[in-house]
């Protein structure tokens, strides 16, 4: 039983990170209807920003850790908005395939630039937060896991607030529902889309820091697999649906951790895709998504 709870805890903390990345995918998909392949690399840049910021800020302090987290989020938000402005905006209204290929191009650009500027060899991520292990009735809880879960929960509450309680959030939902109609009632789509990218990228940056805290070896290609899985999580929950992305991330992280702990551990990378295929075949709209009717 305690083994089960331990795995559940590990799974939830991995799932929380997937959820943070998945939110960025789902929000961008919500407003622009395309898969932002570069998102997983923004996540990687977040981790590297944390690595370099860590050189200026004292290690092992809660305040310093939060500062690094905020710095990485800010940096990633700027990066995300720049990518949108330079690469995606010129293609707005064009064929979705072209935007998809551009996204792949941006993703490759970030990965290869990372290999040139950060170096291809893995770096060790500094211990930015003070770490300790607690035992609670047979369960071993690391402080990093607590940080991951608390930060994720706070960010999600914040996101929920922005999307449902603020003016810009209302505008985001309007653009996602119908961009043309939103424009007619005076929403500036450019600003909303830019903001969405900033918000999503900030979450990816936070995800990058939290991921690096738990798996402290970072390299320019670290984003590829978590990125793909986070996207699976977004589809699993129903793409374009914010609570769905969170749910999908948690579910996926948990399932993956359990598979990893079983005799099938070598298949852990395949399990996410198997889940994806099953979901898409039986419930293409995802767990929380609404099925859309095709009109002729």
Partner 1 sequence: MPRPHFYLLLALLAAYGLSASTGWLEAHLDGWAYYQDVLIGIGINIILAVSLNLVNGYTGQFSLGHAGFMSVGAYLAAAVSLFLGPRLLGEEGGTAFQQGLMFLAALTAGGLGAALAGVAVGIPSLRLKGDYLALVTLGFGEIIRVIFQNVEVLGGALGLNGIPAYTSLFWVLAVGAVTVFTVTSLVHSTYGRGFLATHDDEIASEAVGLNTTRYKIVAFVIGAFFAGAAGGLYGHFKMTITPTGFDFTKSIEIVVMVILGGMGNTLGVILAAILLTLLPEVLRPIAEYRMIIYSLLLIVLMIVRPQGLFNFRFGKAKS
Which residues in this chain contact partner 1 in the complex, by CB under 8 A? Answer: 34-35, 87, 90-91, 94-102, 104-106, 108-109, 112-113, 115-116, 228, 231-232, 235, 266-267, 269-270, 273-274, 276-277, 280-281, 284, 296
The residue (of 115 and 142) whose beta carbon lies closer to partner 1 is 115
The residue (of 102 and 152) whose beta carbon lies closer to partner 1 is 102
What is the C-alpha radius of gyration for the chain, rounded to an integer number of angstroms?
19
In the complex, minimum distance from the CB of residue 161 to partner 1, in angstroms, rounded to a whole number: 29
In the complex, minimum distance from the CB of residue 37 to partner 1, in angstroms, rounded to a whole number: 9
145 vs 237: CA distance, rounded Å: 23
Name the one residue in this structure whose structure tokens are 């961009």: 179
In the complex, minimum distance from the CB of residue 115 to partner 1, in angstroms, rounded to a whole number: 8
Take residue 56 and report the two structure tokens written for it. 């200026």
The residue (of 27 and 171) whose beta carbon lies closer to partner 1 is 27
In the complex, minimum distance from the CB of residue 239 to partner 1, in angstroms, rounded to a whole number: 8
The residue (of 110 and 148) whose beta carbon lies closer to partner 1 is 110
User: How many residues make up the chain in this entry?
Assistant: 296
285 vs 37: CA distance, rounded Å: 20
In the complex, minimum distance from the CB of residue 230 to partner 1, in angstroms, rounded to a whole number: 13
Q: Which residues does 266 contact at the CB level (< 8 Å), separation at least 6? A: none
Cβ atoms of residues 2 and 189 within 8 Å: no
The residue (of 155 and 275) whose beta carbon lies closer to partner 1 is 275
The residue (of 89 and 168) whose beta carbon lies closer to partner 1 is 89
Q: Are strands 139-142 and 123-124 parallel, antiparallel or unpaired?
A: unpaired
Q: What is the three-state SS of 82-139?
A: HHHHHHHHHHCCCCHHHHHHHHHHHHHHHHHHHHHHCCCCCEECCCCCCCCEEEECCE
In the complex, minimum distance from the CB of residue 136 to partner 1, in angstroms, rounded to a whole number: 35
226 vs 15: CA distance, rounded Å: 10
For 102, half-sphere exposure in the C-beta direction (CA atoms, 13 angstrom radius) is 17
The residue (of 4 and 290) whose beta carbon lies closer to partner 1 is 290
In the complex, minimum distance from the CB of residue 269 to partner 1, in angstroms, rounded to a whole number: 5
């Amino acid at each position: 039983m305690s083994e089960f709870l331990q795995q559940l805890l590990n799974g939830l903390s991995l799932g929380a990170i997937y959820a943070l990345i998945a939110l960025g995918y789902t929000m961008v998909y919500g407003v622009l209807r395309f898969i932002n392949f570069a998102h997983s690399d923004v996540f990687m840049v977040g981790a590297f920003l944390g690595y370099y910021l860590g050189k200026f800020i004292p290690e092992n302090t809660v305040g310093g850790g939060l500062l690094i987290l905020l710095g990485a989020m800010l940096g990633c938000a700027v990066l995300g908005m720049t990518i949108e402005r330079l690469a995606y905006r010129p293609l707005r209204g064009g064929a979705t395939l072209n935007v998809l290929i551009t996204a792949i191009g941006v993703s490759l650009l970030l990965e290869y630039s990372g290999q040139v500027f950060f170096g291809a060899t893995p770096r060790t991520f500094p211990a930015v937060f003070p770490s300790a292990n607690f035992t609670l009735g047979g369960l071993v809880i690391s402080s990093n896991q607590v940080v991951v879960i608390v930060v994720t929960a706070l960010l999600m509450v914040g996101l929920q607030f922005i999307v449902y309680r603020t003016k810009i959030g209302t505008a985001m939902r309007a653009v996602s529902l119908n961009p043309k109609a939103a424009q007619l009632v005076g929403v500036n789509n450019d600003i909303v889309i830019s903001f969405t990218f900033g918000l999503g990228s900030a979450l990816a940056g936070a995800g990058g820091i939290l991921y690096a805290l738990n798996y402290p070896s970072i390299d320019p290609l670290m984003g590829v697999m978590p990125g793909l899985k986070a996207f699976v999580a977004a589809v699993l929950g129903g793409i374009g649906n914010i609570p769905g992305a969170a749910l999908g991330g948690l579910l996926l992280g948990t399932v993956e951790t359990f598979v990893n702990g079983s005799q099938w551990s070598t298949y852990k990378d395949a399990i996410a895709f198997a889940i994806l295929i099953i979901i898409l075949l039986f419930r293409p709209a995802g767990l929380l998504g609404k099925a859309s009717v095709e009109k002729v």
